[in-house]
Structure 1
Amino acid sequence: MFITYAIVAALMSTVLLASAGAKFTRPKRLVDQMSTLGLPSTVLPLLGVAQIAGAGGLIAGFWWGPLGIAAAVGVTLYFVGAVATHLRVGDYKGAPPAAVLTAVAVALVALRVATL
């Protein structure tokens, strides 16, 4: 089970870091999407920092299980918020990717709890 956690956590961390990079470089597509969601562009760095913290916590969770669990819970809440934000404005094309990432984050919680 720990190996599964490690693989999924590494993949999720890669996704989080790539997404955080986009939050800091602010490509037009992302800025337009945030505007559609009703979020000001000033929020982007905060979202990027949250994603970096989540990725770091998932990786640190290899060595200290409670931190991995806390990070996975935080990432879950982050993506629940993303799903809610997309649904709030009727963006039904943007919600499914965030929902899949929510499910993966929930799986990470379960995997790390199972390996304590």
Structure 2
Amino acid sequence: MFIAYAVVAALMSAVLLASAGAKFTRPKRLVDQMSTLALPFGMLPFLGAAQIAGVAGLVVGLWWGPLGIAAAVGLTLYFIGAVTTHLHVSDFKGAPPAAVLAIVAAVLIGLRAATL
């Protein structure tokens, strides 16, 4: 189970780092999406920092399991919030990717908990 956690955490970390990078560089596609979601652009650095903190927690969680679980819980809540935000503004195209990431984060909770 630990190897499964390590592999899924590595893949999730890669996705999160790419997403956080976009939040700091603000490409047009992301700016348009934030406008659709009615989120202020001042939120982007906070959202990017939250994703980077999640990556750090998942990586350190390889050595200290409780932190990996806490990071996965935080990421699950983060992406549930993303799904809720997309659905709130009827952005049905943006909700499924966030839902998949919420599910992956929830799987990470179980994988790391199983190896404590």
Per the alignment, residue 92 of structure 2 pairs with 92
TM-score (norm 1): 0.99
Q: CA deviation at 1:73?
A: 0.2
Aligned residue runs from structure 1 range 16-35, under 5 A: 16-35=16-35
Matched residue count: 116
Per the alignment, residue 49 of structure 2 pairs with 49
The percentage of counterpart residues that share the same residue type is 77
TM-score (norm 2): 0.99
Q: Does 1:74 align with 2:74?
A: yes
Q: CA deviation at 1:25?
A: 0.1
Distance 2:39 2:63 in 1: 36
Query: What stretches of structure 2 of length at least 5 have no aligned partner?
Result: none
CA RMSD of aligned residues (A): 0.4
